[in-house]
Amino acid sequence: MSASTNSPSAPGIPADQAPDLAAAREEIDRIDDEIHDLLMRRAEVVGQVAAAKGPALLAASPIRIEREAQMLRRLAARHQGSLPFMAVADLWHELIAAMTAIQAPFAAAIAGGEGAIQRFDLARQQFGSSIPIVVAEDARNAVRQVADGSAGVAVLPPPENGCKGARPGEAPWWTLLSPAEDAPRIVAALPFVLEAESDAPVRRRYLAGDGPRAVAVAKAPHNASGDDVTLVVATSQGFVSPDTCADIFDKAGLSAWRLAYADDPHAGPETDKGAGAPQLHLIAIDGHIEGRDERLTLMGKQHGGPFGDVYPVGGYPVPIGL
């Protein structure tokens, strides 16, 4: 029987040189078996990691966005061939989420309201199809679900400015973040991988860019991924312009920009709400900055300016643009 009878040749390829279809399918099955074996072996190793962590695993979130960022950056650097890397990234998000759930199952809360469908899609893309997702009433409620442990992660809209004269319960969700060690903190900007041709991930504009955007909040440690943005909240008496914010941080040797500001909802009702009203400023800093960094703790004393306390509220690995 001729080769052309077993497997039709592709256009322009002589029949006697055409690949054997049955042999190609056998090779694909063999590769699939190898992939499956490796996945099962990976799950065994993850189980060993969970056992080694012991009770400490139950005291903290299993989510490690910085580790996932390192994996995907390494894979992006070595990727080649016809398979789009976006497909590889989606596979790895799914894989990592499933493996994370082996260590400690978790649920995700997404902020309801405008953009909830986009946030649901981004949550599924980042944290996989196997984790439960609940829709919170709003972003503040989603943060509270992380705080009380009913959700392992919250997917929220990008930070926005507060409204003048808003009541404490109407303040932006990021004003709920605190420097407490066990408090929820920002851990990711989503999506982590995107097509740069139409939507390049510019560092200073990423969260304000066009297209779906979201922020993930969890009780996870703020660890370095190798290319990061740190987020801090700075307090002030009265309004501070974005340029002044950048200048004060520049004096401390930090490249920074303000993402959002709001009246301080923690100030009591007796506080003057006029031009000198206490304010909070959410500020992004290039690089990974530890909370005990003296450039933050001594900023007011060494550099003057309008800021009082400056405390970290997380950060995110800089996304990959393809």
* Average pLDDT of the segment spanning 112-127: 94
* Average pLDDT of the segment spanning 77-85: 95
* Residue 244 CA: distances (Å) to CA of 240, 277, 284, 285, 310: 6, 17, 14, 14, 15
Confidence of residue 95 (pLDDT cuts 50, 70, 90): very high
Task: Give residue 307's pLDDT.
Answer: 87
HEC secondary structure over 112-174: CCCCHHHHHHHHHHHHCCCCCEEEECCHHHHHHHHHCCCCCEEEECCCCCCCCCCCHHHCCHH
Q: What count of Cα atoms within 13 Å lies in the side-chain half-sphere of residue 83?
A: 11
Pairing relationship of beta strands 256-263 and 278-286 according to DSSP bridges: antiparallel
- For the four alpha carbons of 64, 65, 69 and 71, in that order, the dihedral sign comes to positive
Confidence of residue 304 (pLDDT cuts 50, 70, 90): low
pLDDT in tens, 123-150: 999 999 989 999 999 999 999 999 999 9
> Residue 1: is its pLDDT beyond 50?
no
* Average pLDDT of the segment spanning 110-135: 94
* Strand partners for 258: 283
In the chain, the amino acid numbered 313 is V
The b/e string for 95-128 (b: 16+ C-beta within 10 A; e otherwise) is bbbbbbbebeebebbbbbeebbebbbbbbbbbbb
pLDDT in tens, 16-75: 556 688 889 999 999 999 999 999 999 999 888 888 877 665 566 788 999 999 999 999
List the beta strands (DSSP E) in the chain. Answer: 108-111, 133-136, 153-156, 185-190, 193-194, 214-218, 228-237, 256-263, 278-286, 307-317, 320-321
% residues pLDDT > 90 (the chain): 53
Task: Give residue 320's pLDDT.
Answer: 87
Burial of 79 by CB count in 10 Å (0-12 exposed, 13-18 middle, 19+ buried)? middle
Burial of 55 by CB count in 10 Å (0-12 exposed, 13-18 middle, 19+ buried)? exposed
> Residue 196: is its pLDDT beyond 70?
no
Residue with tokens 């993402």, as numbered in its chain = 259
Taking a C-beta distance cutoff of 8 angstroms, is the pair 94, 129 a contact?
yes
* Average pLDDT of the segment spanning 183-212: 72
